């Protein structure tokens, strides 16, 4: 996308130069109305180049905003599920048994022989 902007800027510059040259030649050869049309065309090229710059800035700003939103709110449901699982992680045995048992050194382990 960045190179497209550069190509368009180069094209706008070349077109502006050609239209300006045509305007000068028209004025030299006594065609003021044609000169005016070329000057108007040159102005439109300047407007197009300016709008291309605005579009480039807007696209960059939107990309940064989307990147921030992705960082703040993980869109992937698997990532959210993994985050919840990591929050409840207490020991390796708990993870290996999908929450069924706790390891010998885990604080969530219930003492044996209590009837549970």
Binding site for Zn ion (CB under 5 A): 90-91, 94, 102, 106, 108
- Is the Cβ of residue 88 or residue 115 nearer to Zn ion in the bound state? 88
- Is the Cβ of residue 56 or residue 109 nearer to Zn ion in the bound state? 109
In the complex, minimum distance from the CB of residue 105 to Zn ion, in angstroms, rounded to a whole number: 9
The size of the chain, in residues, is 116
Ramachandran category for residue 101: left, alpha or beta (phi over 0 → left; psi -120 to 50 → alpha): beta
- Is the Cβ of residue 6 or residue 108 nearer to Zn ion in the bound state? 108
Q: Which two tokens stand for residue 105?
A: 């050194």
- Is the Cβ of residue 15 or residue 90 nearer to Zn ion in the bound state? 90
In the complex, minimum distance from the CB of residue 82 to Zn ion, in angstroms, rounded to a whole number: 18
In the complex, minimum distance from the CB of residue 101 to Zn ion, in angstroms, rounded to a whole number: 8
In the complex, minimum distance from the CB of residue 54 to Zn ion, in angstroms, rounded to a whole number: 57
Q: How many CB atoms lie within 10 A of CB 109?
A: 15
- How far, in Å, are 2, 36, 44, 101, 116 from residue 6 at the CA level? 7, 29, 18, 61, 72
């Amino acid at each position: 996308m960045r190179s497209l902007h550069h190509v368009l800027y180069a094209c706008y510059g070349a077109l502006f130069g050609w239209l300006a040259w045509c305007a000068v030649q028209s004025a030299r050869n006594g065609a003021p109305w044609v000169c005016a049309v070329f000057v108007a065309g040159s102005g439109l090229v300047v407007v197009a180049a300016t709008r291309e710059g605005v579009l480039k800035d807007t696209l960059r700003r939107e990309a940064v905003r989307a990147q921030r939103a992705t960082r703040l709110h993980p869109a992937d449901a698997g990532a959210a599920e993994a985050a919840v699982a990591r929050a409840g992680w207490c020991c390796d045995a708990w993870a290996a048994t999908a929450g069924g048992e706790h390891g010998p050194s885990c604080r969530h382990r219930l003492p044996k022989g209590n009837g549970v």
